[in-house]
Amino acid sequence: MSALSNWSWDYDGWIVLAGILCAVAASLPGNFLLLRRMSLLGDAISHAILPGLAVAFLVTGSRSSLPMFLGAVVVGLLTAVFTEWIRNFGEVDEGASMGVVFTTLFALGLVMIVQAADHVDLDPGCVLYGSLETTTFDMVDVAGTEIPRVVLVLAAVTVINLVVVVLFFKELKLSAFDPALATTCGISARLMHYLLMIIVAVTAVASFESVGNILVVAMFVVPPATAYLLTERLRSMIIVSALIAAVSATLGHVSALVVPSWFGYRSTSTSGMMALCAGILFFAVSLFAPQQGVLIRILRRQRLSLRILSEDLIALLYRMDERKSGVVASIGQLRATLLSGGFMSSLLMKQHSRKGHVIATENGYQLTNSGRRLGAELVRSHRLWEQYLVSEGGVAVDRIHGQAEQLEHFTGRELRDRLQQETSAPVLDPHGSPIPPE
């Protein structure tokens, strides 16, 4: 932890705070962008503001930030307007029109700056990845406390975004999920769209000035996407995304200090690491999220298929036992019928023997009474379903086995009783096999 020994709250604390504010401010409107499938608009707008900054500066000639700020916000909005314009008049799809607009504006901005800057060795790096590290160089005195200007600006933007999201929550939500319904309800989906664009542009410009583009673009998309995998409700999605944004900002700065030191380098770009941390969090969540996680879903599917196999094994043993009471079946015999894997089959049979459903003998497995009961339940479900499909569903006899084979695994006592009732308590199934009593 030697890299953190230089940690100072006066310096690193402010950087982390600026990062957190930027991340939270961006993730708030980001949720709605994600739901409207316009996540890339954040990226487009934050590239396109470049000519706005340049023109505003060249026209006013002042270093004061307000005209620059407004100029950039206006160009950011124009990106959205032009995109829609080209999409409507030129019938170009959304992604392409966005691509045309923002690359053009960005190129225009580059030309303006370079053209005007003559021989200045321009480092356009500031356009994209800002300098969060210089946060504390520009302090403002507020009520006797020295606060970095960047933190003030970002705090203001965060408050604005929060107010907009809270005030227009219902309207934004409705127009994100169903613009047509929103319009019929008297909410202008168009107006909401532009309101969203305004706060996206304001956030992009404010962040560009202080912490760089890359962080804000990442925070528009990644925390909302992570939250989207964790929850089903918009309200909790917004809260979770803000939390994730804050966590990744904090982790980002710490890892910007720590990780390079593992390889013998000094600290690296904080904004870049913040974006990377958000990405790592996203990846972890996409694997392990309780409902949506990729690994969790694979595990759940695996568990289900194991349960089905284990039930199939017992049911098969029951059917063999039916034909010849007290039959002993080897793993090989069971596998030959079920076409199942050897390892899993023997593992599951061992489990059955542990639970007392079967007795292991030298030649294979034999059902016990409790195993017979289990098998009888499954086979009863299977045959009742077959009877039901034939008598009530009118399915041909040669096509019922497959369906019953699937349904038997999801049929409990209650459903079996209903089936028996509906099929007027048959003794034999359509194939002529006896239906075991409950």
Partner 1 sequence: MRTLGALHSVLAFAASSLTDRSIRWPTWLEWQRVLFLQDYNTRVVMLGTMLLGLAAGMVGSFTLLRRRALMGDALSHATLPGVGLAFLIAPSLGLAEKSLPVLLTGAALSGIAGVVAILYVRNLTRLKEDAALGIVLSVFFGAGIAILSIAQQSVGHSAGLESFIYGKPASMIESDRLLIGCTGILSLLIMGSLFKELTLLCFDEGFAKSRGYPVLLLDLVLMGLVVIVTIIGLQAVGLVLMIALLVIPAAASRFWTQNLKQMILISAAIGGAGGFLGAAMSALFRNLPAGAMIVLVCSALFFVSMMFGTERGVVVRALRRRDLNRSVDHQHLLRGMFELQESRGPKAGIPFSELQTLRSWSSHRLLSEIERCRRRGLVFRDSGQHLSLTSSGMVEASRLVHEHRLWELYLITHADVAPGRVDQSADAIEHVLEPELIAQLEELLLQKRRVQGIAPSPHPVDATEHVS
Residue number, 267 or 433, with CB nearest to partner 1: 267
CB of 234 to partner 1, least distance (A): 15
CB of 330 to partner 1, least distance (A): 40
CB of 227 to partner 1, least distance (A): 11
Residue number, 110 or 160, with CB nearest to partner 1: 110
CB of 77 to partner 1, least distance (A): 19
Give me the phi and psi of 358, to 5 degrees please.
-135, 160
The residue behind tokens 């999201």 is 165
Residue number, 54 or 384, with CB nearest to partner 1: 54
Q: Output the CA torsion 16→19→20→24 (10° steps).
A: 180
Residue number, 91 or 414, with CB nearest to partner 1: 91
Nearest-angstrom CA–CA distance, 259 and 269:
11
CB of 157 to partner 1, least distance (A): 16
Q: Output the CA torsion 263→267→272→278 (10° steps).
A: 70
Residue number, 243 or 344, with CB nearest to partner 1: 243
Burial of 198 (0-12, 13-18, 19+ CB in 10 A): middle
The residue behind tokens 């369906």 is 403
Residue number, 134 or 236, with CB nearest to partner 1: 134
Residue number, 164 or 275, with CB nearest to partner 1: 275
CB of 69 to partner 1, least distance (A): 11
CB of 187 to partner 1, least distance (A): 23
CB of 223 to partner 1, least distance (A): 10
Residue number, 6 or 370, with CB nearest to partner 1: 6
Nearest-angstrom CA–CA distance, 34 and 38:
6
